[in-house]
Amino acid sequence: MQRREFLQLATPLNVAKHKIGGYYVSEKLDGTRCFWDGGITRGMHTRMVPWASIVDPRTGVNKAKVKPIATGLWSRYGNPIMAPDWWLNTLPACFLDGELTAGRGKFQLTRSICGGDTPDARFDQIRYAVYSAPHPANVFRTGLIKNTNMLCEVLHDECMAFVRQQLEDFEGDFQFCPATCFAQELEFLRRVFEVQTKQCYLLAQELLPADAGKAHIRIAEFLDHVLEQGGEGVVLRDPNAEWIPKRHAGILKWKPYLDAEGTLVGFTSGRETDKGSKHLGKIGALILDYEGKRLELSGLTDAERILGHEAADWATNNPGMDIPHHLIGKGSKHFILGDVITFKYRELSDDGIPKEARYDRKRDVE
């Protein structure tokens, strides 16, 4: 069966390769990715939804624990996002793809609010920035979703039959976007969002000049403005590309720093530097397995460096060393061995090691 993802994913921009004249550009938001099914699964048992992530990808058997009731909001990995009813009531009755965010530089807050097992009282700080209205034929393309966070066999006919069944009892007028490309999706969304709410809005899209040189000048200006405002990058969309549940070149992302992931396999102990000894007895760096190579990662906050008492005592007396696993057990106060860690870097060295790599976050498994 053909492989796919649950949602559409962006490809990093290659300036020399990709021709972006006439593309749309928007800010790349740093939040929680979210698909809204128009509310057709709201209140249902999660295990009854054919695209819900109910199988443990490590074992291939049903998860012991899933969020039991669907809300209609789905994470990048097919898990319900537990928003309160008053917030859900503000969303339109159509398929939407976008990002939940509490604002620039507030990823951890967004993750904290959106990742819970029950609706968080702080959801009034969350807005849904919408940038796509995928056609159901694309959302439910037959294929196998298989990654470290989701294992699900999507069958088009089964999913569409489920949708039709849910719409029989749906209260209100449900709309399906008839679009076959992003430009048509945008027209549809502009009609849907003629009146925008505090909770849900259409993310601004700017059409770039058709001339490639002028387009690159403009996106450089656009990126500078986003960075000045505390943002992290831009997204480029081909107006003629259809929404596809996989990573593809119809949607491109551009950030001043690249990012990648590695698996946490250990810690080094902090040591005294010319800035003082505040890291003694704490984590100095994370040790990642990055494509079979060892990568030491800095950039932690003081809170993220905290160790248990026994490991902290050893680290104080052995600065700059790898902390023995028997002293840290499965992990530290903040990290667990085996965590997938996202980091930022400038470029790769000749031997494939990321330069200027710094910790960004633990992977969002929601």
pLDDT of residue 240: 97
Residue 218 is encoded by which pair of tokens?
């403009």
| Percent of the chain clearing pLDDT 70 (strictly above) | 97
Strands 206-207 and 24-27: what pairing? antiparallel
pLDDT of residue 143: 97
pLDDT of residue 366: 59
Chain centre distance of CA 68: 22
Chain centre distance of CA 140: 20
What Rg value do the Cα atoms of the chain yield, rounded?
Answer: 22
Which domains, from first to last, does the chain contain?
3-254 (3.30.470.30), 258-362 (2.40.50.140)
For residues 236 and 327, give the distance between their C-alpha atoms in angstroms, rounded to a whole number.
Answer: 47
pLDDT of residue 108: 83
Scan for tokens 């939804």, then name that residue.
49
pLDDT of residue 256: 82
Are 144 and 3 within 8 A, CB to CB? yes
DSSP code at position 69: B
What mean pLDDT do residues 326-343 have? 84
Residue 141 is encoded by which pair of tokens?
């393309």
In this prediction, residue 277 has a pLDDT band, given cuts at 50, 70 and 90, of low
Are 27 and 203 within 8 A, CB to CB? yes
Phi/psi at 34 (nearest 5 deg)?
-150, 130
Closest CA to 146 of 219, 215, 68, 53: 53
pTM for the complete prediction?
0.78
Buried/exposed code over 203-214 (b: 16+ C-beta within 10 A; e: otherwise)? bebeebeeeeee
pLDDT of residue 302: 87
In this prediction, residue 15 has a pLDDT band, given cuts at 50, 70 and 90, of confident
DSSP code at position 183: H
Residue 330 buriedness (CB in 10 A; 0-12 / 13-18 / 19+): exposed
Of 231-240, 244-253, 265-274, 317-326, the one with minimum mean pLDDT is 265-274
Q: Left if phi > 0, otherwise alpha if psi is -120 to 50, otherwise beta: which for 307? A: beta
DSSP code at position 182: H
Of 78-87, 275-284, 312-321, the one with minimum mean pLDDT is 275-284
Closest CA to 94 of 1, 199, 32, 167: 167
Scan for tokens 């800010």, then name that residue.
27
DSSP code at position 35: E
pLDDT of residue 183: 97
Are 356 and 346 within 8 A, CB to CB? yes
Query: How high does pLDDT run on average in the chain?
Result: 92
What mean pLDDT do residues 93-107 have? 94
pLDDT at residue 331 greater than cutoff 70: no
For residues 183 and 65, give the distance between their C-alpha atoms in angstroms, rounded to a whole number.
Answer: 40
For residues 307 and 300, give the distance between their C-alpha atoms in angstroms, rounded to a whole number.
Answer: 13
What mean pLDDT do residues 243-263 have? 91
Q: What is the pLDDT of residues 204-230, one digit of tens each?
A: 999 999 999 999 999 999 999 998 998
pLDDT at residue 276 greater than cutoff 60: no
pLDDT at residue 278 greater than cutoff 80: no
For residues 192 and 186, give the distance between their C-alpha atoms in angstroms, rounded to a whole number.
Answer: 10
Of 121-125, 236-240, 247-251, 337-341, the one with minimum mean pLDDT is 337-341
pLDDT at residue 45 greater than cutoff 90: yes
In this prediction, residue 363 has a pLDDT band, given cuts at 50, 70 and 90, of confident
For residues 361 and 108, give the distance between their C-alpha atoms in angstroms, rounded to a whole number.
Answer: 9
Residue 325 is encoded by which pair of tokens?
């696993």
Are 101 and 29 within 8 A, CB to CB? yes
